[in-house]
Amino acid sequence: MSGRSADEQARVSAADDQVLSELIALNELYEATFGHVYLVFAHGRSAEELVAVLKRRMSNDTDVEWRNTRLELAKITEFRLRNLFGDERV
């Protein structure tokens, strides 16, 4: 995980071990199901919130999930560009 990713996911590291274990297990299941990593805009979200989102997304079909992955990547990219340039017009 890059330093930028770690900063964006800081609230996750504060979660208890049970929630973190569930998140890890669901991530592995997601990757096995869809063939790619679970990507979500995590900034400001707790581990519990990310688990809930992941559980909902597990019921999607592959096409829907690829669309979700692209949308989440766009959110991450926009957030990082705004932070890099400090410009609301990004």
> What is the rounded CA–CA span in Å between residue 78 and residue 72?
10
Confirm whether 90 is domain-assigned: no
pLDDT per residue as tens digits for the range 24-45:
999 999 999 999 999 999 998 9
One pLDDT digit (tens) per residue for the chain, 90 residues: 455 555 545 567 667 889 999 999 999 999 999 999 999 999 989 999 999 999 999 999 999 999 999 999 999 999 999 988 887 665
Range of the domain at 61: 3-85
Q: What is the CATH number of the domain that holds 33?
A: 1.10.3330.10
Confirm whether 13 is domain-assigned: yes
**Into how many domains does the chain fold?**
1
CA-based nearest residue to 45, from 85, 79, 84, 68: 79
Confirm whether 68 is domain-assigned: yes
Confirm whether 62 is domain-assigned: yes
Determine contact, residues 18/52, Cβ cutoff 8 Å.
Answer: no
